[in-house]
């Protein structure tokens, strides 16, 4: 899957000023609303928290991959944020999170596209060097470049 179809520099913020998961999610969701990827913040945030209730989306290594499959999503997209400081997030390694990749998935994409997208991102995040680059990148374009590289 070509990640460039779901990543946009206008939905990447490498200086998220958030003290907790709720604030971080609000900032990322606002980017999705502003870009026109979702039409209802209220509906989408409920869908994200429904998924959060199913299990931890903090995958370890300072990374979280929350996602919402929702009828309010117009275009399957990612919003990416790096917090200024690590924040508490339920994670597999019980460590705080600093890099968040929020998946906004259209209902019609909830099986095939979502699974491929998740697999592609997970493959990238399995590489410690890529994770280190994401945690230290300076510009949104750098993040896009990292995700666009072939492993």
User: CA-CA distance, 67 to 19, in Å (whole number)?
Assistant: 20
Q: Answer yes or no: is pLDDT of 144 > 80.
A: yes
Question: What CATH code is carried by the domain that includes residue 85?
Answer: 3.40.930.10
**How many domains does the structure of the chain reveal?**
1
pTM, two decimals, is 0.93
| Nearest partner of 59 among 7, 121, 10, judged by Cα | 121
pLDDT band at 1 (very low <50, low <70, confident <90, very high): low
Q: Based on C-alpha coordinates, what's the Rg of the chain?
A: 14
| Nearest partner of 20 among 94, 134, 98, judged by Cα | 98
Kindly state the average pLDDT of the residues 47-68.
93
User: CA-CA distance, 141 to 86, in Å (whole number)?
Assistant: 22
Kindly state the average pLDDT of the residues 128-135.
92
User: CA-CA distance, 24 to 45, in Å (whole number)?
Assistant: 12
- pLDDT tens-digit series, residues 74-127: 999 999 999 999 999 999 999 999 999 999 998 887 777 777 888 888 888 989
Q: 64 lies in which domain range?
A: 3-148
CA neighbours closer than 13 Å in the CB half-sphere of residue 54:
10
Contact 48, 79 (CB under 8 A): no
Kindly state the average pLDDT of the residues 8-36.
96
User: CA-CA distance, 60 to 115, in Å (whole number)?
Assistant: 20
């Amino acid at each position: 899957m070509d990640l460039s179809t779901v990543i946009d520099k206008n939905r990447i913020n490498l200086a998220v000023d958030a003290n907790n998961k709720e604030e971080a999610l609000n900032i990322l969701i606002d980017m999705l609303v502003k870009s026109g990827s979702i039409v209802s913040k209220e509906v989408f945030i409920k869908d994200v928290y429904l998924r959060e209730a199913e299990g931890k989306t903090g995958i370890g290594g300072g990374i979280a991959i929350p996602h919402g499959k929702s009828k309010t999503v117009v275009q399957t997209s990612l919003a990416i944020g790096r917090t200024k400081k690590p924040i508490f997030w339920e994670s597999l390694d019980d460590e705080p999170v600093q890099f968040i990749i929020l998946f906004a998935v259209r209902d019609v994409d909830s099986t095939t596209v979502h699974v491929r997208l998740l697999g592609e991102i997970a493959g990238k995040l399995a590489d410690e060097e890529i994770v280190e680059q994401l945690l230290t990148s300076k510009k949104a374009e750098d993040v896009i470049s990292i995700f666009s590289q072939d492993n």
